[in-house]
Structure 1
Amino acid sequence: MKTKLSLLVIVAWALSITALPSVASASCSFADIHFSSDFDSGRLDGCEQTASNSYTLTLKPENTPINPSPWYAFQVTNQSETAQTITITLLSDGAPARYQPRISSDKQNWQPVPYEKDQQQMQFQVTVTDTVYVAGGEIIDTSFYPSWLAELAPTALITLGESSQGRPIHALEHRVDGSADWLVIIGRQHPPEVTGALALVHFSQLLFSDDTAMRVFRQRYNILLVPMVNPDGVAAGNWRHNANGVDLNRDWKRRSQAETQAVHAKLTAITAAGGRIRLALDFHSTWRDVFYTMTADYVTVSGEPLQQPQLVNDWLTALANELAMPIENKPSHNPNSGVFKQYIADQFGVHGVTYEVGDQTDREHIKRSAEAALTTLIKQLFPDY
């Protein structure tokens, strides 16, 4: 099927927000055009036809207050026998456009849509011949992770527990006899942060590959990989939160949610059994590529300095040299923030890093950077290699 792009979308601000405890998928039918978000990770909260080929689609957050990151993902079906060019206006409560539109006929292969935007609007064009999906990025839904993890390391697949709505929190637990050292990797605390999810996939794909260096590393290090900490939010297409309206990456101090409790229980079980967490990575997306790190001289809440204080600085310096480009390293600490990297530092006395990928970072660069990040990291974690 050929899909020709020709769709005008304007993302506008609303003046107020109504808190919604939960958001149901929307489905709207007009003469020949049908919109639906009735699929995993779909998000659309209402639709209205405003002219013969013009439609207004509304987006609302799962609850407020919220970091304004409007996610959208919907299917457009043309039920006529000829291609139609339609104009869509996306109205988003309390937030400007953030995520660049992408289009797919199968939810597997995605193409960016050329667009223009300013502070309040985004414009792009699409022509619908049959059925297409439009989303704020590639759709990586909840069904992807268990099958992908099983392909990476089928004997290491475990479930840490259940989310607030009872979805399994899938993980890989790679164990090495005679080694106490652990590398921890998590992702998808914030559902729409797709570029961070892509980086985690590339990073982990190489980590569990047959590459010689990776095989040697896996003979020395235990690995805990939790690629989707917030399955409820991913399934619902939430902007930021879990099913209870909580930002999980602000909950690591209180650990009030089932998701943070499940990960915490696993990490504390590891250390109670004599394991040593050496580093933890948390993959996210934001406006640009940046690493949020702990300050090297940080003293934890227990009064102890971080182990291997220069580990992350040395790693990111090596990464910059490998990529032959600057790497933005933003060190900070805030014991009351509730973010994962701070929790790792205070709970286990080691570095936690928030690995942020730009929303519009080139997909090939995401892959190249993630692979370079891993190859340079293992040389820091395993200097005898």
Structure 2
Amino acid sequence: MNITSAFDSGNIQVVEARDPQQIRLRMVDDAHTEKHQWFHFALHGAAGQACRLLLENAGSAAYVDGWQDYQAVASYDRESWFRVPTRFDDSGLIIEHTPEADLVYYAYFAPYPSERHRDLIAQAQCDDRVQYHCLGQSPDGQSLDLLQIGELEDGKKVCWIIARQHPGETMAQWWMEGCLDTLLDDTNAISLALRQRCVFLLVPNMNPDGSRRGHLRHNALGVDLNRAWRQPSAETSPEVFHVLERMSQTGVDFFLDVHGDEALPYNFIAGSEGIPGWDARQQAQLDGYKQALKAATPEFQTEHGYPVDPPGEANLDIGSNFIGHRFGCLSMTLEMPFKDNADLPNPLVGWSPERAAALAGPCLQALWEGLEQNRI
């Protein structure tokens, strides 16, 4: 029996793995931090054996509330991921599973591999409706990829959508894949209408280094990119620096930052209500978008979410707050669960790559309705 994680987005430290009932593991901190919660590893040679895998340092994870009612994901083929029995107690996070094959992968959420990202970018640029731009390089020397759909023309709304500032929130890039598929679907009337009225600038993966390294929240230098927007650095947070530089050239009429939330088992929108100068127009934009999204899909709700910041007290280091303040536009964060959607539970897969991708269509529909109502 062996346990390995020396692969794209792999993360685990083996403490002991001789007895399948006493497998002891530890999650590895993001580089230059003491934060951990992402795990992704392979178990070899345990087919037909009842295994008990203990992640000993789960109690010191970044978001301990994330373990309540959480079920880890597993896969034999790295394509189809399913939930396995998982519980959290004083000893740590315990996964109990009897593998059906001699190679099985476990992860915090279904990984979105770096090679799949590169395939996504390469395939998109082959579409004559898409322009590819390399905005710069990450600290590890990876490209910072931007996909542009449409031309920057007078009268067109400039819509920026970014994902995966926090690399462990892989559902965000699964959502982005669904967004790209929807926007380029010529049988989708809403997508056709949006492309007539908007130019889309998509950053499918804001944090390629953290993604490949198996981080939860940080880039290669230990920077939380979603706390770096007010004063981004070309040296320590080039991912934000280069995106913001391009935004300064294009302007922003609509901004959506796609994330995942460890604790809350719901899909929800976090607005930028607490920014300085927040007014009735911006509140109407936000309320209208959320109402349209709720009407478009039962996967979305407005009852549960983050507390609203008091007036003038929003943290402008956070991307959606900073963009909303600087550009005066509708600027939001979409949060999806690591667990399941408690309103529409699916015990077999929980919240999944397929469900995340499917949510992109309703999000675009809500944007179109905002344009139709002249709210955006």
TM-score past 0.5 threshold: yes
More strand by share: 1
More helix by share: 2
**Kept in 1: contact 2:176–2:357 (CA 8 A):** no
Cα distance, 1:299–1:212 mapped onto 2, change above 3 Å: same
Amino acid paired to 2:245:
A
**Kept in 2: contact 1:101–1:134 (CA 8 A):** yes
Query: How far did 1:372 drift?
Result: 1.5
User: 2:226 aligns to what?
Assistant: 249
d(CA) in 1 for partners of 2:191, 2:372: 11
Amino acid paired to 1:59:
M
d(CA) in 2 for partners of 1:166, 1:113: 36
Secondary structure (helix, strand or coil) at the match of 2:173 reads helix
Q: Normalization by structure 2: what TM-score?
A: 0.81
Query: How far did 1:308 drift?
Result: 4.9
d(CA) in 2 for partners of 1:177, 1:48: 56
Cα distance, 1:65–1:165 mapped onto 2, change above 3 Å: closer
**Kept in 1: contact 2:27–2:36 (CA 8 A):** no
d(CA) in 2 for partners of 1:206, 1:217: 11
d(CA) in 1 for partners of 2:149, 2:297: 29
Residue 207 (str. 1) matches residue 199 (str. 2): no
Query: How far did 1:336 drift?
Result: 4.2
Query: How far did 1:368 drift?
Result: 4.5
Q: 1:191 aligns with which of 149, 153, 167?
A: 167
Query: How far did 1:202 drift?
Result: 2.2
d(CA) in 1 for partners of 2:170, 2:245: 27
d(CA) in 2 for partners of 1:270, 1:337: 20
Query: How far did 1:306 drift?
Result: 8.4
Q: 1:75 aligns with which of 42, 46, 61?
A: 42
User: 2:348 aligns to what?
Assistant: none
Residue 116 (str. 1) matches residue 81 (str. 2): no
d(CA) in 1 for partners of 2:331, 2:249: 18
User: 1:18 aligns to what?
Assistant: none
Secondary structure (helix, strand or coil) at the match of 1:232 reads helix
d(CA) in 1 for partners of 2:160, 2:280: 16
Structure 1 stretch displaced more, 313-322 or 334-343:
334-343
Amino acid paired to 1:323:
T
The structure with the largest alpha-carbon Rg is: 1
Cα distance, 1:52–1:226 mapped onto 2, change above 3 Å: closer
Q: 1:144 aligns with which of 108, 116, 120?
A: 116
Structure 1: which 5+ runs fail to align?
1-32, 272-276
User: 1:379 aligns to what?
Assistant: 369
d(CA) in 1 for partners of 2:84, 2:302: 28
Pairwise mapping of residues 216-255 of structure 1 onto structure 2 (< 5 A)? 216-255=193-232
Residue 350 (str. 1) matches residue 329 (str. 2): yes
Q: Percent identity?
A: 24
Q: 1:167 aligns with which of 129, 142, 148?
A: 142
**Kept in 2: contact 1:307–1:349 (CA 8 A):** no
* RMSD after superposition: 2.7
Amino acid paired to 1:105:
Y
Q: Normalization by structure 1: what TM-score?
A: 0.79
* 1:78-112 superposed Cα distances (whole Å, 9 cap, x missing partner): 1x8x7433332212262246463111122112111
**Kept in 1: contact 2:71–2:87 (CA 8 A):** no
Query: How far did 1:182 drift?
Result: 0.6
Amino acid paired to 2:50:
T
Q: 2:271 aligns with which of 293, 315, 321?
A: 293
d(CA) in 2 for partners of 1:317, 1:168: 37
